[in-house]
């Protein structure tokens, strides 16, 4: 297991960092205050190839590996969590699910335009009464002629009013005894009759991003829009969450780094009792913990990225990385405000936004409580990963970029 970054990794990281720091950062403070997503950011991310970063070239992507995706997430969230969230949802939860579970016609129809950045994608799992308890979802997909009629509403959906496609989960087989076997997955174009959507305002954090609801009322779909077989929806959702949790872990690591860098800078600038506050041991303790947690969180997500590159199942490892990094990011942001004192309580400084944003990662894609239960189950031997119908494809440069391996 080699965690050294290649020259290609470093070049990609530099490109994403330059975009995030130079182009996105100047827009974020006003966007956060106005609770609006800057309209120019997603098109710019598409132009840079970020929306197809780790999708094979034959499907319109850039052909990079999964570690490059993690690096991009870290750099984006070091500026603002909303940037990373957009990439997590578009690639981690949607496009990689299509790559893993989609038929060839589905990949050509949906994945290719998503990877090229021509279409934006979202993920429709959470409902008002179904978050951690996925099996409690109320959305239905009943047979109607040679297709399906979709009814239901999804809540807390990132990119709800921005995306063109949604990966929608609904109940199709209510007669089956196991509620997890009752779910199926569908790809819904948001311009279909019966689809309505809107934004949610008044959020604690992620105010520079798009979060909303999507409602389907008797939306008609052909069978060709079903992803996988009937009854495979739960397995598809869980495999997508493995990918999404990986991106959340990498992103939260970027937030730890941002909190650390901001704290170090301020600790050198601010003086009390005649010396820099960085000379005070309790301030040093806070900064030391941030530095420790950054390194540990980074190692955790790099391990998951390496496993993904090898085509190895990583449910346990992705859960652990997400749980640790999300909690550590919240702690780092909280401590950064303490370092700044009263100034940290003002949105004049970024650390205030870091704290608000960090709270979301502790909740979505499995709350910290869910991940604690998962890890306890693994440790006690109560939980074991069964084989999926297919695994996320291992990264192979010759396959991702063609036989010649050329970019």
Q: Name the residues annotated as catalytic.
A: 365
Candidates 168, 162, 145; CA nearest to 220 is: 145
Strand partners for 271: 276
Distance CA(140)–CA(150), nearest Å, equals 6
* Cα separation, 77 vs 25, whole angstroms: 11
- Of 324, 325, 288, 395, the closest CA to residue 67 belongs to 395
Determine the 3-state secondary structure of 54 from DSSP.
coil
* Euclidean distance between CA atoms 51 and 122, whole angstroms: 12
68 Cβ neighbours under 8 A, 6+ residues apart: 8, 9, 12, 13, 53, 54
Cα–Cα dist 116/59, whole Å: 8
Question: Number of H helices and number of E strands within the chain?
Answer: 14, 10
Which residue's structure tokens are 């990986």?
246
Strands 165-171 and 121-124: parallel
Local structure of residue 386 (DSSP, 8 states): P
SS (H, E, C) 3-29: CCCCHHHHHHHHHHHHHHHHHHHHHHH
């Amino acid at each position: 297991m080699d965690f050294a970054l290649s020259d290609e990794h470093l070049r990609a990281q530099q490109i994403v960092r330059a975009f995030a720091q130079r182009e996105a950062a100047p827009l974020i403070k006003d966007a956060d205050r106005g609770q609006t997503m800057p309209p120019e950011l997603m098109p710019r991310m598409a132009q840079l190839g970020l929306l197809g970063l780790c999708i094979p070239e034959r499907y319109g992507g850039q052909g990079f590996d999964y570690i490059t995706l993690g690096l991009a997430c870290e750099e984006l969230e070091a500026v603002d969590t909303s940037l990373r969230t957009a990439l997590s949802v578009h690639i981690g939860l949607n496009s990689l699910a299509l790559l893993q579970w989609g038929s060839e016609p589905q990949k050509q129809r949906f994945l290719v335009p998503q990877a090229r950045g021509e279409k934006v994608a979202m993920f429709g799992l959470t409902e008002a009464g179904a978050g951690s308890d996925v099996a409690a979802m109320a959305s239905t997909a009943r047979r109607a002629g040679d297709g399906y009629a979709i009814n239901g509403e999804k809540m807390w959906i990132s990119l709800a009013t921005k995306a063109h496609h949604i990966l929608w989960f609904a109940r199709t087989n209510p007669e089956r005894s196991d509620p997890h076997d009752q779910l199926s997955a569908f790809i819904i174009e948001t311009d279909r009759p019966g689809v309505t959507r809107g934004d949610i305002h008044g959020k604690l954090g992620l105010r520079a991003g798009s979060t909303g609801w999507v409602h389907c009322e008797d939306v008609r779909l052909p069978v060709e829009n079903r992803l996988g077989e009937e009854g495979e929806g739960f397995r598809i959702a869980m495999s997508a969450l493995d990918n999404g949790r990986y991106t959340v872990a990498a992103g939260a690591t970027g937030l730890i780094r941002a909190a650390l860098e901001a704290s170090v800078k301020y600790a050198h600038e601010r003086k009390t009792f005649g010396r820099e506050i960085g000379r005070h041991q309790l301030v040093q303790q806070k900064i030391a913990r941030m530095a420790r947690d950054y390194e540990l969180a980074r190692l955790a997500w790099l391990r998951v990225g390496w496993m993904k590159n090898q085509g190895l199942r990583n449910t346990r490892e992705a859960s652990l990385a997400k749980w640790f990094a999300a909690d550590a990011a919240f702690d780092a942001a909280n401590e950064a405000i303490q370092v700044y004192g009263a100034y940290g309580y003002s949105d004049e400084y970024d650390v205030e936004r870091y704290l608000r944003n960090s709270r979301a990662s502790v909740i979505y894609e499995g709350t910290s409580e869910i991940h604690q239960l998962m890890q306890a189950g693994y440790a006690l031997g109560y939980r074991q990963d069964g084989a999926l119908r297919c695994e996320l494809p291992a990264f192979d440069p010759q396959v991702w970029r063609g036989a010649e391996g050329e970019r």
